[in-house]
Amino acid sequence: MRHVLDITDLNVKEVDELVATAEDIVRNPAKYAHILAGKKLATLFYEPSTRTRMSFEAAMLELGGSVISCADMSRSSAAKGETLGDTVRVVGNYVDVIAMRHPYEGAAYAAALKSPVPVINAGDGGHCHPTQTLADLLTIHREVGRFDNLTVGLCGDLKYGRTVHSLINAMLRYKNVKFVLISPDELKLPSYVLETLDKAHAKYEEIPDLEKAIVDLDVLYMTRVQKERFDDESEYNRVKDCYVLTAEKMKLAKKECIVLHPLPRVNEIAEEVDDDPRAAYFRQTLNGKLMRMALILKLVTEKDAVYRREETVSGGKCVNKKCITHFEKLAPLYKAEAENGMHKCAYCETLQKLADKK
Ligand code: CP
């Protein structure tokens, strides 16, 4: 039994194997049509979703398995005060694997502490979204044909854009990948992601001007400004239209530069760009279903898999007010390995000085 809470829970070889399985599913769908007959997936979505939830459900059905779900988690016993830990302990008695989305950062880690079956993180607040990254990687593989030697531009909300954090964690494992970080000051990457880039000696530069950055890119990853993560709406209004990709701007890009977006989009890609063959974001959604099929198959059929949770130490409250530890009765835990005297919260990864237990 193992969980996929972050993309780094899958090593590079395993990602390659998932890509190979996804490609095999395209070639031989009949081979997979009944492969998980009798197995069940639960989708626990405490936050809105179209693609992730429906593609998880379609993925399990196309593997011959079944799906149970709660149409609206606010009408589950969570409304009566049931904890996330208790919920997954119960649901884990009914299914073989759980895909879970939650608005609070580190919620997937909290669920995995209690779950008797594999937990797949389908997005935890502004933290990470590993299966979106699997969709992104299959799209890069199919459209560009390599993961090495790429210049990847990440544009928009790099602060709250969980898909950006997971994609960086995945791509920095490949050779000669350069990241171009395109955002206003208010939406720059969180310090724990920058620290990961620095620790890996990854090449990156910050260029706030999209027109300037676009000319060198092999992949342009556009993101929506995540309105739901802002505490102050006026702050959101100030940055919401900071980047809009248009057909005019696409003229500046290389002829083979692909455009990705996890979707949903609001204003950040003009609809006229959809007709550009380099716009790969709708193909990306199909790739998400294929990679979720490959991942579910792996987790449900894997024998002797062990989830290697990093060693942790205890401490005081996490400084991140959006961390799940502020909303559920959970012992604060920190990754044991410190960086410059700072520890990462084991749930949400926010870097901090270890406060005394209170
Ligand atoms: N990309 C993504 O996570 O989309 P949904 O929010 O619709 O699931």
pLDDT at 65 over 70: yes
Q: How far is the CA of 129 from the centre of ligand 1 (A)?
A: 9
Identify the pLDDT of residue 261.
98
C-alpha atoms less than 13 angstroms from C-alpha of 120 in its C-beta half-sphere: 30
Write the CB contacts of 302 (distance below 8 Å, at least 6 apart in sequence).
2
Identify the pLDDT of residue 305.
76
pLDDT at 236 over 60: yes
Task: Extract the tokens encoding 5.
Answer: 């809470």
Amino acid present at 58 = A
CA distance 340 to 348: 19
Question: What digits encode the pLDDT tens for the residues 174-189?
Answer: 999 999 999 999 999 9
Q: Which atom of ligand 1 is nearest to the CA of 52?
A: 8
Is the CA virtual torsion 74, 167, 91, 318 positive or negative?
negative
Decide: residue 83, CB within 10 A, 0-12 exposed, 13-18 middle, 19+ buried. Answer: middle
Question: What digits encode the pLDDT tens for the residues 308-358?
Answer: 788 999 999 999 999 999 999 999 999 999 888 899 999 999 999 987 655
Identify the pLDDT of residue 71.
85
Identify the pLDDT of residue 340.
83
* Ligand 1 pocket, residues with Cβ under 6 angstroms: 49-53, 123, 132, 262-264
Counts of helices then strands in the chain (DSSP H, E) = 12, 13
Q: How far is the CA of 339 from the centre of ligand 1 (A)?
A: 33
Q: Which atom of ligand 1 is nearest to the CA of 263?
A: 1
Question: Whose CA is closest to atom 1 on ligand 1?
Answer: 262
The chain-wide mean pLDDT, for the chain, equals: 95
Identify the pLDDT of residue 339.
81
Q: How far is the CA of 118 from the centre of ligand 1 (A)?
A: 21
Q: How far is the CA of 227 from the centre of ligand 1 (A)?
A: 14
Ligand 1 pocket test, pick from 44, 45, 47, 51 with the greatest ligand atom count within 8 Å of Cβ, gives: 51
Identify the pLDDT of residue 73.
92
Tracing tokens 């008797």 back to the chain, one arrives at 116
DSSP labels, 161-183 = -HHHHHHHHHHTTSTTEEEEEE-
Is 70 in contact with 57 (CB distance < 8 Å)? no
Identify the pLDDT of residue 356.
65
C-alpha atoms less than 13 angstroms from C-alpha of 178 in its C-beta half-sphere: 10
Question: What digits encode the pLDDT tens for the residues 127-159?
Answer: 999 999 999 999 999 999 999 999 999 999 999
Ligand 1 pocket test, pick from 46, 49, 54, 227 with the greatest ligand atom count within 8 Å of Cβ, gives: 49
Amino acid present at 219 = V
CB neighbourhood size of 200 (10 A): 14
Mean pLDDT of the 49-63 span? 98
Q: How far is the CA of 263 from the centre of ligand 1 (A)?
A: 6
Q: How far is the CA of 264 from the centre of ligand 1 (A)?
A: 6
Is 229 in contact with 268 (CB distance < 8 Å)? no
Q: How far is the CA of 178 from the centre of ligand 1 (A)?
A: 26
pLDDT at 112 over 90: yes
CA distance 255 to 237: 33
Identify the pLDDT of residue 104.
97
CA distance 268 to 295: 30
Helix (H/G/I), strand (E/B), else coil: 47: coil
Name the least confident of 177-191, 194-208, 301-315.
Answer: 301-315
Tell me how far CA of residue 262 lies from CA of 136, 154, 267, 330, in angstroms: 8, 12, 14, 31
Question: Whose CA is closest to atom 3 on ligand 1?
Answer: 52
CA distance 209 to 349: 29
Question: What digits encode the pLDDT tens for the residues 241-288?
Answer: 899 999 999 999 999 999 999 999 999 999 999 999 999 999 999 999
What backbone torsions phi and psi does residue 295 show, to the nearest 5 degrees?
-70, -45
> All domains of the chain, ordered by start, with CATH?
7-129+286-301 (3.40.50.1370), 132-282 (3.40.50.1370), 312-356 (2.30.30.20)
Q: How far is the CA of 357 from the centre of ligand 1 (A)?
A: 37
pTM of the model: 0.96
Task: Extract the tokens encoding 4.
Answer: 């996929």
CA distance 125 to 159: 11
Identify the pLDDT of residue 357.
59
Identify the pLDDT of residue 203.
97
Question: Whose CA is closest to atom 4 on ligand 1?
Answer: 51
Does the bond joining 277 to the residue before it have cis omega, within 30 degrees of 0? no
Question: Whose CA is closest to atom 5 on ligand 1?
Answer: 49
